[in-house]
């Protein structure tokens, strides 16, 4: 089993090569979640993820003979980048096997660090099977993303730093993929503060650890924005530690993870990937566990495709009714469109797009419909804008 001494040894081994990231309070998110919230910005690591800690601790522990043989790892992205980066720094050849659906940004960044990248299988389990076969065939050292005590000890340095910075923390909330991060943090935190409470977080589409702890068969799968924690086979070592030390593993909806990403962008001006925002999502979806408590969470990673991030931000605007579509029916006479657009402007709405519809769905050929995509301040402003149009005799619907 893991120990505090192993975590401290890892901290000494990686010191100077991995960032001691900021651990800062957030007044706005504290008000939003009802607790005193502190954020550990692991997305500020060079590869934008906590995974560097475990990867470097493992690689730095290899013998000269093992380094010459080279290493292989399987990963959905962050472990891949961490192994590739630190292997290159240490002069160790590296092969990374990633699932075919891995985000483009993670594939590209792994290649940039000089590793040989192979895309195999549709899931992390498929990639792992192929990586194990290559390790055996080519006599490579397998660097597992979570089922390794050296990896877990390295990840545990996140918790060590959190409690060194704020010893009076009462609760830690940590995302779970294979469980290595939570197992390492739980080991360090429990040894330093036996009264601290620990919670894990999983996406509703991949609640593997939640199901294992409940003694249920593991049934997971489906699309998730949190691909970094979309793991079917959790670590057995991590499972044993989490079963002993962790209060509960919480499950969060995809929509809540999206909300958390948007909140971190808009409030903290920091980019988090789905897995990186999962801990905040747990506070948003399960606030009753944390009300009034002094809580610490890691923003565990920030590697998210720009296209996905843009979609999440736009969906957030729609969800908060700050971006709405209005369908307006107006008489087919000169100046009607100009009058309505002026009314929208007078009510404070910002017109983003306009589509004039004369053929499909109109009640009369003499009453064309116009669809407006409008930006507003918030839901109340949207409602006030609609009331303003209706008060002026405009037939309008929100969709």
- pLDDT, mean of residues 308-314: 95
d(CA 35, CA 32): 8
- pLDDT, mean of residues 309-325: 94
- pLDDT, mean of residues 105-124: 86
CA distances from 323 to 12, 99, 381, 386 (A): 49, 35, 11, 13
202 within 8 A of 174, measured Cβ to Cβ: no
**Count of C-beta atoms within a 10 Å radius of residue 356:** 10
Q: Does the structure show a pLDDT above 70 at 148?
A: yes
The whole-model pTM stands at 0.91
- Please give the positions annotated as active site: 51, 300
142 within 8 A of 131, measured Cβ to Cβ: yes
Q: What is the CA radius of gyration of the chain?
A: 25
Q: What percentage of the chain's residues is helix, strand, coil (to nearest 5)?
A: 50, 20, 35
Q: Which residue has the higher pLDDT, 370 or 67?
A: 67
Domains of the chain (ranges; CATH) run 4-44+148-315 (3.40.50.1100), 51-142 (3.40.50.1100), 321-398 (3.30.70.260)
Q: Does the structure show a pLDDT above 80 at 39?
A: yes
The pLDDT assigned to 77 comes to 81
Question: What is the SS3 string spanning 41-62?
Answer: CHHHCCCCECHHHHHHHHHHCC
- pLDDT, mean of residues 50-56: 98
Question: What is the SS3 string spanning 317-374?
Answer: HHHCCCEEEEEEECCCCCCHHHHHHHHHHHCCCEEEEEEEECCCCCCECCECEEEEEE
The mean pLDDT of the chain is: 93
Q: What is the DSSP letter of 15?
A: B
Q: Does the structure show a pLDDT above 60 at 349?
A: yes
The pLDDT assigned to 359 comes to 60
Least confident piece of the model among 81-90, 152-161, 321-330: 321-330
d(CA 309, CA 25): 24
The pLDDT assigned to 365 comes to 59
Q: Does the structure show a pLDDT above 70 at 366?
A: no
d(CA 397, CA 399): 7
Q: What is the DSSP letter of 193?
A: -
The pLDDT assigned to 360 comes to 60
The pLDDT assigned to 364 comes to 59
The pLDDT assigned to 358 comes to 64
Least confident piece of the model among 126-135, 146-155, 182-191: 126-135
Q: Does the structure show a pLDDT above 80 at 1?
A: no
The pLDDT assigned to 394 comes to 87
The pLDDT assigned to 114 comes to 86
369 band by pLDDT with thresholds 50, 70 and 90: confident
Structure-block tokens of residue 324: 């709405």
């Amino acid at each position: 089993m893991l120990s505090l001494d192993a975590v401290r040894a890892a901290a000494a081994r990686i010191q100077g090569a991995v960032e001691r990231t900021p651990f800062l309070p957030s007044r706005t998110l504290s008000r939003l979640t009802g607790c005193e919230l502190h954020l550990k910005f692991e997305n500020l690591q060079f590869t934008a993820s906590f995974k560097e800690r475990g990867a470097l601790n493992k690689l730095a522990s290899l013998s000269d003979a093992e380094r010459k043989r080279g290493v292989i790892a399987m990963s959905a992205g962050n472990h891949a980048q961490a192994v590739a980066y630190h292997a290159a720094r240490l002069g160790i050849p590296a092969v990374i096997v990633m699932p075919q659906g891995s985000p483009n940004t993670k594939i590209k960044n792994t290649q940039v660090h000089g590793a040989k990248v192979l895309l195999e299988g549709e899931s992390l389990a498929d990639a792992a099977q192929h990586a194990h076969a290559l390790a055996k065939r080519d006599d490579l050292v397998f660097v597992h993303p979570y089922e390794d005590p050296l990896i877990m000890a390295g990840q545990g340095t996140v918790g060590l730093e959190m409690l060194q910075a704020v010893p009076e923390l009462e609760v830690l909330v940590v995302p779970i993929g294979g469980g290595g991060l939570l197992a390492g943090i739980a080991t360090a935190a429990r040894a330093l503060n036996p009264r601290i409470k620990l919670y894990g977080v999983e996406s509703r589409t991949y609640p593997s650890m939640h199901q294992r702890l409940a003694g249920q068969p593991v049934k997971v799968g489906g699309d998730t924005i949190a691909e970094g924690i979309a793991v079917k086979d959790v670590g057995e070592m991590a499972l044993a530690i989490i079963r002993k030390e962790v209060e509960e593993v919480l499950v969060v909806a995809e929509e809540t993870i999206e909300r958390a990403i948007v909140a971190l962008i808009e409030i903290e001006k920091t980019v988090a990937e789905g897995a990186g925002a999962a801990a905040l999502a747990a506070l948003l979806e399960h606030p009753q566990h944390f009300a009034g408590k002094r809580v610490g969470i890691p923003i565990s990673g920030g590697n998210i495709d720009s296209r996905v991030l843009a979609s999440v931000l736009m969906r957030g605007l729609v969800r908060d009714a700050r971006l709405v579509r209005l369908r307006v029916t107006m008489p087919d006479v000169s100046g009607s469109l100009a009058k309505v657009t002026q009314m929208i402007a007078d009510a404070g709405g910002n017109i983003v797009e306009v589509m004039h519809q004369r053929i499909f769905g109109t009640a009369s050929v003499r009453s064309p419909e116009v669809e407006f995509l409008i930006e507003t301040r918030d839901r109340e402003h949207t409602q006030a804008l609609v009331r303003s149009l209706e008060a002026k005799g405009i037939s309008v619907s929100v969709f």
